[in-house]
């Protein structure tokens, strides 16, 4: 019989979750070496069986193109040998991390002589609901197993073949290495019925982590009786301050918007201080436009972007005039910014589109972010330490950057290994959800016949 519980046609969501609950009790007691051996086996199996994964992914990609998925979504869905190798390496990086289970958080002796220790323990069964990205199947599985948790996976229909292949490979490797059957469960089918049933498994599932947009978040909020950590939208901002190094600002904005636009830590809005807007906006508009980005600006942003050409372009135009040559065909002054509407400030585009606004102060930038931001990742570019400090203290987000791209919000970049997602809420985890965030704690109390008076 196959090791993947969900591959049995008769397996219902409830049965998959019950199997995970049984496995979780055993997983909580398994030592680090055996968990690491299982993860190592998963990494090896991914490499050895990569052609199976690629064949499954090709089916999903073909269906995605037929369904006219956006290029950003297709990029998130696509796998190749390089990406599979990256997934395998991420598993090995998790092997190298310290096991949080059993870690002593604090300890003390009470006045009555009792010894109290607060130690990390697994949460139990974690359900991960995700869209498009098949790499999450392995990233989430490795993190849950290392932290002693069983996992129930529910991907989207767009990645059904890829997810099934990856879950099958991971489960066979993990069970073959001595982990309990049921430690990895896959809910086949991407319909709302399965989502609702999974979200109501309060007797077996300890936590749900959704990875997707606001639609998925809203769907869960309507029906979930299981606790949820929302790793949802990332409406991220880069604010270019009056004291910014403009070369640095240009590089950061370009990276934050274009390095991988279809991810939650990509910038969706750029705010620019009025005092540097006339100089900075023409050059960044030209650079972003050259990278294929559509820009939507407020009235001041549109005016500044067209009022002055980039100095390099202006010089080229003058040189052309002096030699009776033609000026460059495209200058920043000829690039039109679309008019930004209220919906643009609140949008997570996940595409090569950015909203642009001009503000009069760091406080106004903070206020704008407070109104429209999603609490994910926000950045300021400035050489003014006072402005940087005000931004860090004033912005309420999981990750706040000074002179760095928002694209660094990632468990791997933070040295946490792969992540299940980035939490935009405050309890019980915030930011990248790694091994420690997949644990709770318990108090262990030792006495010598103590009784309470």
Angle, CA 67 vertex, CA 63 and CA 72 arms, to 5°? 90
Range of the domain at 305: 236-408
- Residue identified by tokens 């639609």 is 215
User: Does pLDDT of 141 surpass 80?
Assistant: yes
| Average pLDDT rounded to a whole number, residues 379-384 | 98
Cβ(201)–Cβ(127) under 8 Å? yes
Is residue 68, in this structure, part of any structural domain at all?
A: yes
Bigger pLDDT: 204 vs 218? 204
Same domain, 300 and 437: no
CATH number, domain with residue 394: 3.40.309.10
- Region 320-325 average pLDDT: 46
What pLDDT was estimated at residue 190? 62
Classify residue 49: in a domain, yes or no: yes
Which residue would you say has higher pLDDT here, 333 or 344? 344
Q: Does residue 257 share a domain with residue 108?
A: no
Is pLDDT of 314 > 50? Answer: no
Mean pLDDT for 210-224 is 86
- For 36-87, the pLDDT digits (tens) are 999 999 999 999 999 999 999 999 999 999 999 988 789 889 999 999 999 9
Same domain, 182 and 50: yes
Q: What is the mean pLDDT of residues 345-371?
A: 97
| pLDDT bucket at 193, cuts 50 / 70 / 90 | confident
Q: In the structure, what pLDDT confidence band is assigned to residue 214 with cuts at 50, 70 and 90?
A: confident
pLDDT tens, residue by residue, 197-207: 999 999 999 99
Q: In terms of domains, do 171 and 270 share one? A: no
What is the share, in percent, of the chain residues with pLDDT greater than 90? 78
pTM score: 0.81
Examine the domain organization and report whether 261 and 333 are in the same domain.
yes
Side-chain-side CA neighbours of 85 within 13 Å: the count stands at 3
Residue 29: CATH number of its domain: 3.40.605.10
User: What pLDDT score does 263 carry?
Assistant: 87
429 versus 405: the higher-pLDDT residue is: 405
C-alpha distances (whole Å) from 277 to each of 252, 257, 274, 284, 387 are: 16, 18, 5, 10, 17
Number of domains into which the chain is organized = 2
Query: Rounded CA gap, 356 and 269, in Å?
Result: 6
Same domain, 426 and 337: no
Looking at residue 133, its pLDDT comes to 87
| C-alpha distance from residue 44 to each of 79, 136, 138, 342 (Å) | 17, 17, 13, 49
Q: What is the pLDDT of residues 83-128, one digit of tens each?
A: 999 999 999 999 999 999 999 999 999 999 999 999 999 999 999 9
Mean pLDDT of 306-320: 51
The reported pLDDT for the residue numbered 42 is: 98
Residues 285 and 330 in one domain: yes
The whole-number pLDDT of residue 335 equals 73
Residue 211: the pLDDT is 83
Rounded to a whole number of angstroms, the CA Rg of the chain reads 25
pLDDT in tens, 266-311: 999 999 999 999 999 999 999 999 999 999 999 999 999 876 555 4
Is 432 in contact with 408 (CB distance < 8 Å)?
no
452 within some domain: no
Per-residue pLDDT band at 412 (split at 50, 70, 90): confident
Name the residue with tokens 């942003």.
301
Q: Are 17 and 204 in contact (CB under 8 A)?
A: yes
Are 254 and 205 part of one and the same domain? no
% of the chain beyond a pLDDT of 70: 91
pLDDT at 362: 98
pLDDT of residue 231: 74
Q: Is pLDDT of 318 > 70? A: no
For residue 346 the two structure tokens come to: 């609140």
Q: Is the pLDDT of residue 323 over 60?
A: no
Is residue 451 situated within a structural domain? no
**307 and 441, same domain (yes or no):** no
Q: What is the pLDDT of residue 309?
A: 55
299 and 172 inside one domain: no
The closest alpha carbon to 401, from 380, 416, 422, belongs to: 380
Give residue 427's pLDDT band: very low, low, confident or very high (50, 70, 90): confident
**pLDDT-based confidence at residue 332 (cuts at 50, 70, 90):** very low
What pLDDT is attached to residue 232? 64
Pair 192, 263 in one domain: no
């Amino acid at each position: 019989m196959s090791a993947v519980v969900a591959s049995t046609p008769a397996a219902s969501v409830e049965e998959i979750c019950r199997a995970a609950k049984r496995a979780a009790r055993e997983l909580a007691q398994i030592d680090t070496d055996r968990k690491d051996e299982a993860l190592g086996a998963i990494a090896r199996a991914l490499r050895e069986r990569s052609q199976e994964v690629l064949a499954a992914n090709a089916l999903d990609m073909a269906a995605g193109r037929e369904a006219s998925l956006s290029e950003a979504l297709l990029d998130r869905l696509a796998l190749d040998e390089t990406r599979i190798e990256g997934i395998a390496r991420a598993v090995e990086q998790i092997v190298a991390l310290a096991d949080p289970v059993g870690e002593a958080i604090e300890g003390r002796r009470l006045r009555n002589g009792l010894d109290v220790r607060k130690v990390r323990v697994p949460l139990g069964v974690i359900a991960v609901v995700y869209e498009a990205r098949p790499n999450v199947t392995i990233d989430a599985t490795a993190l849950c197993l290392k932290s002693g948790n069983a996992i129930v996976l529910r991907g989207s229909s767009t990645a059904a073949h890829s997810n099934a292949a990856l879950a099958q490979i991971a489960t066979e490797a993990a069970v073959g290495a001595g982990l309990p059957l049921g430690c990895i469960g896959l809910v086949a089918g991407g319909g709302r019925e399965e989502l609702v049933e999974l979200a109501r498994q309060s007797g077996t599932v300890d936590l749900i982590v959704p990875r997707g947009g606001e639609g998925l978040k809203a769907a869960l909020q309507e029906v979930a009786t299981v606790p949820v950590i929302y790793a949802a939208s990332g409406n991220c901002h880069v604010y270019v301050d009056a004291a910014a190094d403009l070369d640095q600002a240009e590089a950061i904005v370009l990276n934050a918007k274009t390095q991988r636009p279809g991810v939650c830590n990509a910038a969706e809005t750029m705010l620019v201080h009025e005092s540097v807007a006339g100089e900075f906006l023409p050059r960044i508009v030209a650079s972003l436009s050259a990278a294929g980005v559509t820009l939507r600006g407020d009235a001041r942003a549109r005016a500044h972007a067209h009022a002055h050409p980039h100095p390099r372009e202006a010089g080229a135009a003058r040189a052309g005039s002096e030699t009776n040559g033609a000026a460059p065909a495209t200058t920043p002054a000829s690039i039109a910014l679309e008019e930004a509407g209220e919906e643009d400030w609140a949008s997570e585009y996940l595409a090569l589109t950015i909203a642009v606004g001009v503000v009069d102060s760091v406080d106004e930038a903070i206020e704008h972010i407070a109104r429209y931001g999603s609490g994910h990742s926000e950045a300021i570019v400035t050489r003014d330490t006072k402005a940087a400090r005000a931004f860090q203290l004033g912005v309420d987000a999981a990750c706040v950057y000074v002179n760095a791209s928002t694209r660094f919000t990632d468990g791997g970049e933070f040295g946490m290994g792969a992540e299940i997602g980035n939490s935009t809420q405050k309890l019980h985890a915030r930011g990248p959800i790694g091994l420690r965030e997949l644990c709770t704690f318990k108090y262990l109390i030792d006495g010598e016949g103590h009784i309470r008076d």
